[in-house]
Amino acid sequence: MTADEQAALVAWIWGQPGALPPHGMQASERGLNAYREHAKALAVRALAAVFPRLQTWMGESEFAGLAWAFARTHPPRAGDMNRWGGELSAFLCGLPGMDEEPPALAAFEWALHCMAFAADDGPADEALWQQLQLTDPGHLRLRFATGIALHHLPISLNAMLSAGAEETGGGPLWLVWRSGWRPAWTPFAEAQQNVLAALLCEPTLAAALQAQPAEAPLLAAVLQQGWRQGWLLGAQRA
């Protein structure tokens, strides 16, 4: 059988634009539809597993429609279904009249989902504090938990995001990271975001402080929060 024959069947199953029921097979309508119905159900099930809060926000019926619309335009391209859905936020952004919450929520939940497959962190290292006192900051880089990132989310999502968060409070800024094997998130002070961004991006602690000199006084507070919440794990020589 040819690649074209195979492609025609897959395109029809996933509802690709212009796809017609494939030729060259003994197929009842029920038989073909069994494959398409499986694809539809799989799309909903897979995306609901990754985006449970988005499904709650939109409602099951609307989410199911979204899942198939997304699947038709962004069908799976690899055999690991856990890697599918990363383009959902951008897809939502492109829908006319879309509110700001769904795309932001989709990006947030995708970030949480992706942490599940990342390499495990080593344990937190209490020698951090001694290193901070004794080591030249030009030769020190902080070690953060897997997946650490800041997300800017509409404050209308605060109630939903507060459920399960590490600490209470509200957005719009939320910090996500992997804590052990589970995703974690917490509200994050906007005043501290520049210093954290510099710590994440710059090659050394000294470079981070030079990048944000006006906010250097906030460093101690950021480090203490990171250690307490478990997203700052230690330091290493740069």
Query: Would you tell me which residues interact with another protein (CB under 8 A)?
Result: 1-3, 5-11, 13-14, 16, 24-28, 30-32, 34-35, 38-39, 42, 75-82, 115-120, 146, 178, 181-182
- For 156, residues 6+ apart whose C-beta sits below 8 A from its C-beta are 101
Question: What six digits make up the tokens of 218?
Answer: 């906030």
CB of 76 to another protein, least distance (A): 5
Cis peptide before 172 (omega within 30 of 0): yes
Q: Which residue type occupies 48?
A: A
Nearer to another protein, 85 or 102 (CB): 85
Nearer to another protein, 37 or 60 (CB): 37
Q: Which residue reads 């909903």 in tokens? A: 44
CB of 221 to another protein, least distance (A): 30
Nearer to another protein, 37 or 62 (CB): 37
**DSSP H or E run through 173:** strand 173-179
Rounded to the nearest 5°, which phi and psi values hold at 177? -165, 170
Q: Which residue reads 């005043």 in tokens? A: 191
CB of 32 to another protein, least distance (A): 6
CB of 38 to another protein, least distance (A): 6
The runs of H, that is alpha helices, within 79-124 are: 88-93, 101-115
Nearer to another protein, 14 or 57 (CB): 14
CB of 115 to another protein, least distance (A): 7
Nearer to another protein, 6 or 224 (CB): 6
